[in-house]
Amino acid sequence: MIRTRFAPSPTGPLHLGHAYSAITAHDFARRQGGMFLLRIEDLDQSRARPEWEAQIFDDLAWLGLTWDGPVLRQATRSAAYEAALTALLGRGLIYGCKCSRRDIAQAASAPQEGTPPNWGPDGLVYPGTCRPHIAGHLLAGQARRLDMAAALAGCSKIAFQELSDDLITPIDHINNVDHFIDNIGDAVLARSDGAAAYHLAVVVDDAAQDITHVVRGADLLSATPIHALLQHLLGYAKPIYHHHALIRDSNGKRLAKRDDAKAIAKFRSEGASPDDIRAMVGLPTRSNS
Ligand code: GLU
């Protein structure tokens, strides 16, 4: 059975890009008698706000989207993330890192390195300063990083499957070990305050919710190889992905949460209908779908 999800972070209003993801995931599941689940990605408790969460429920209901089962909140899931991290730790794949962003920028651009630093899905690729580590020796207050080379030992490539815009045609994304080492590096799986990082939480939760198809914006495509690797390491089934083009404003600028001008709530207050929102993002209206 098809199971899709929408996984917004309650750190701002839903905008047109969210509407596109949510409607596409919802309609895809409903067309095939599947389920559409909702997850609130409130890992970052310093930015999550109950009023944004309430607005998410309200906007989704107004768009005519219904979700199945209880809402999963990441803030309640720390034991599940800890268990996954412990499994990786037990295999010697995790180390503690005390570097600040500044330390990383300095080390990555050190003249003796020769080549310019690479940028990955989480910013500068970590130069590995803390990597020489004593297995199992972790200090509190340090971020937890995946030792990428160790995690990939014995693998030549990691693949995941995508559906193109027709949601039918499969595309294989295959990344070799060099891509992981050079363009991703030792990803952070838990932050120094102990909270799980997005990459770990999203993989654990997609598995816990038995998600078969992940629909999300193309801005997350570069992070998906990390998710596929974690699914492989943790023995989870791999969902199929659809990364859709980002919805841009009339100047071609990418919409961000702070661009309240494109918030669904704003269009609502101006009298737009749910079908108007569908039309704005190029999706069939409900009467035509
Ligand atoms: N929580 C993320 C966001 O709101 C989405 C993550 C995902 O769909 O995997 O941008």
* Ligand 1: residue whose CA is nearest its atom 3: 8
Cα angle 219, 225, 227 (rounded to 5 degrees) comes to 90
Residue 26 domain-assigned (yes or no): yes
- 238 CA to centre of ligand 1 in angstroms: 17
Strands 188-190 and 143-146: antiparallel
Residue 144 domain-assigned (yes or no): yes
Residue 241 domain-assigned (yes or no): yes
* Ligand 1: residue whose CA is nearest its atom 2: 8
Which structure tokens are listed for 174? 């295959």
Q: What is the pLDDT of residue 96?
A: 94
Residue 288 domain-assigned (yes or no): no
Separation of alpha carbons 229 and 146, rounded Å: 11
- Is pTM beyond 0.85? Reply is yes
Q: Which of 55, 199, 202 to mutate to test the pocket of ligand 1 (most atoms within 8 A of CB)?
A: 202
Residue 289 domain-assigned (yes or no): no
**Tens digit of pLDDT for each residue in 146-190?**
999 999 999 999 999 999 999 999 999 999 999 999 999 999 999
Which structure tokens are listed for 195? 């909270």
Amino acid at 262: K
Q: What is the pLDDT of residue 230?
A: 98
Q: What is the pLDDT of residue 286?
A: 83
- The answer for residues whose C-beta is within 8 angstroms of residue 216's C-beta and 6 or more apart is 7, 21, 241, 242, 243, 244
Its domain, for residue 113, covers: 3-280
Q: What is the pLDDT of residue 116?
A: 77
Q: What is the pLDDT of residue 114?
A: 63
Q: Which of 56, 220, 240, 244 to mutate to test the pocket of ligand 1 (most atoms within 8 A of CB)?
A: 220
**Tens digit of pLDDT for each residue in 261-286?**
689 999 999 999 999 999 999 999 98
- 113 CA to centre of ligand 1 in angstroms: 34
Nearest ligand 1 atom to the CA of 216 is 8
Q: Report residue 94: phi and psi, to 5°.
A: -120, 140
Residue 61 domain-assigned (yes or no): yes
Kindly write down the DSSP assignment for every residue of the chain, as one continuous string. --EEEE---SSS--BHHHHHHHHHHHHHHHHTT-EEEEEE----TTT--HHHHHHHHHHHHHTT----SPPEEGGG-HHHHHHHHHHHHHTT-EEEE---HHHHHHHHT-GGG-SPPPEETTEEPP--TT-S--TT---TTSEEEE-HHHHTTT-SEEEEEEE-TTS-SEEEEEEEHHHIIIII-S-EEE-TTSPBPHHHHHHHHHHHTT-SEEEEEGGGGGGHHHHHHHHHHHTPPPPEEEEEPPPB-TTSPBP-TT-GGGBHHHHHHTT--HHHHHHHTT---TTT-
Residue 52 domain-assigned (yes or no): yes
Q: What is the pLDDT of residue 117?
A: 78
Q: How many domains does the chain have?
A: 1
Residue ranges of the chain with per-residue pLDDT less than 50: none
Is the CB of residue 3 less than 8 Å from the CB of residue 209? yes
CATH number (domain holding residue 228): 3.40.50.620
Residue 180 domain-assigned (yes or no): yes
Is the CB of residue 201 less than 8 Å from the CB of residue 81? yes
Tokens 């990786």 belong to 88
